[in-house]
């Protein structure tokens, strides 16, 4: 079930600008006329960012999602603006449900080989939002190679903190281990005794003020072109709990279930705790991927 919750919506007042822009995108989108499309894409982006009630539904009814997919695949001057719009639309479950049929899942993944870090930021954010608490979207993205693309991006740009944080959250969401974006997860690099391993831990302060949720992500390049990623979540642990269990974790028994592969691109293995409720303090997931 898709449990992603959007930000609080404001009362919607029918907006002729939105209707006009959606209509113009339908007309000019097939030929991708940049000068005609750019202002209308900006208008739709602005209105969606304002989170007005009913705007997302209008986008769905308008039928522009396949046009946005075409724009991303063509990798032209409108790619950056288009992927930013897609990332904003991905906040809305009513829109996100149509991404697969419209070809937007593959289209977003297709831009992940870019060297433009701003474009990668928006594309990874779209992937993260698509997969949060949605098993259907998670499995679709996994089948199409989202994990190796995100890991490659994470390793290519180690000095871009914003991109690093979005990549880590996307990996957590793809493993069904994510925190809500609104939780404000803050990522820091940890220390590892193994030079081939990168360690990240993210902390989301709880509203009660005395506890926190700690997410630990380990990325290990154990062979040329091959990488493993493990994700562990310690729910609502205090600082003393983190100091204790960060050094010595409780042993758990796991069952292994393969969720398939995509040609020679990647193999993903998902671990789940045997007979232990998800409310327990420790949960883990692991990805084994070929970059």
* pLDDT tens digits along 105-146: 999 999 999 999 999 999 999 999 999 988 889 999 998 989
Ramachandran angles phi, psi of 192, nearest 5°: -135, 140
Q: What is the mean pLDDT of residues 244-256?
A: 32
Packed helices 16-29 and 55-62: angle between N→C axes, nearest 10 degrees? 30
Residue 163 lies in a domain: no
- Tell me, yes or no, whether 4 lies in a domain: yes
Tell me: do 122 and 190 sit in the same domain.
no
DSSP 52: B
pLDDT digits (tens, 9 = 90+) for 20-66: 999 999 988 777 788 889 999 999 999 999 988 889 999 999 999 99
Rounding to the nearest 10 degrees, give the CA dihedral for residues 132, 135, 138, 144: -160
Query: Would residue 103 count as lying in a domain?
Result: yes
Q: 274 falls in which pLDDT band (50, 70, 90)?
A: very low
Does residue 234 carry a pLDDT above 50? yes
Helices (H) and strands (E) in the chain, counts: 13, 7
pLDDT confidence tier of residue 206, bands split at 50, 70 and 90: low
- pLDDT tens-digit readout, 157-197: 999 999 999 999 999 999 888 877 888 888 999 888 888 88
Any domain includes 287: yes
* 3 shares its domain with 125: yes
Domain boundary among 117, 144, 171: 144
Average the pLDDT over each of 80-94, 121-135, 200-214 and give the range with the smallest value.
200-214
Q: How many structural domains compose the chain?
A: 2
- For residues 121 and 204, membership in a common domain is answered with no
Does any domain span residue 178? no
| Model confidence at 261: pLDDT above 50 | no
pTM for this predicted structure: 0.77
What the block records as the tokens of 46 is 């602005």
Using alpha carbons, select from 233, 128, 140 the residue that is nearest to residue 180.
Answer: 128
Q: What is each CA distance from 58 to 11, 52, 54, 105, 152, in whole angstroms? A: 14, 11, 6, 20, 36
- The answer to whether residue 155 sits within a structural domain is no
In a domain, 159, yes or no: no
* Domain range for 73: 1-144
- Please check whether residues 20 and 91 belong to one and the same domain: yes
Whether 139 and 22 share a structural domain: yes
Is residue 111 domain-shared with residue 194, that is, in the same domain? no
- Mean pLDDT, range 246-270, rounded to an integer: 29
Tell me how crowded residue 195 is: count the other CB atoms within 10 A of its CB. 7
CATH of the domain at 89: 1.25.10.10
Do 251 and 202 share a structural domain? yes
8 and 131 in one domain?
yes
- 131 within a domain of the structure (yes/no): yes
Query: Within this chain, do residues 121 and 225 fall inside the same structural domain, yes or no?
Result: no
């Amino acid at each position: 079930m898709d449990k992603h919750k959007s930000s609080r919506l404001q009362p919607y007042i029918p907006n002729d600008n939105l209707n006009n822009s959606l209509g113009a995108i339908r007309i000019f989108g097939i030929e991708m006329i940049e000068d005609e499309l750019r202002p209308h894409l900006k208008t739709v982006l602005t209105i969606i960012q304002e989170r007005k009630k009913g705007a997302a539904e209008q986008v769905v009814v308008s039928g522009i999602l396949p046009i946005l997919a075409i724009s991303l695949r063509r990798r032209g001057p409108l790619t950056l603006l288009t992927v930013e719009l897609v990332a904003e639309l991905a906040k809305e479950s009513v829109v996100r449900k149509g991404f697969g049929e419209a070809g937007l899942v593959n289209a977003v993944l297709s831009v992940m080989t870019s060297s433009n870090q701003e474009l990668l930021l928006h594309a990874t954010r779209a992937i993260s939002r698509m997969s949060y608490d949605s098993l259907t979207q998670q499995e679709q993205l996994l089948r199409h190679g989202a994990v190796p693309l995100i890991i490659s991006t994470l390793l290519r740009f180690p000095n871009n903190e914003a991109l690093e944080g979005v990549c880590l959250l996307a990996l957590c969401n793809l493993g069904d281990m994510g925190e809500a974006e609104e939780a404000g997860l803050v990522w820091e690099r940890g220390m590892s005794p193994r030079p081939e391993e990168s360690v990240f831990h993210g902390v989301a302060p709880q509203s009660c003020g005395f506890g926190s949720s700690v997410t630990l992500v380990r990325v290990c390049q154990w062979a040329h072109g091959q990488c493993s990623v493990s994700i562990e979540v310690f729910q609502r642990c205090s600082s003393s709990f983190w100091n204790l269990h960060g050094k010595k974790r409780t042993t758990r028994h796991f069952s292994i279930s393969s969720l398939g592969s995509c040609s020679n691109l990647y193999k993903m293995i998902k671990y789940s705790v045997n007979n232990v409720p998800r409310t327990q303090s420790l949960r883990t997931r692991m990805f084994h991927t070929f970059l």
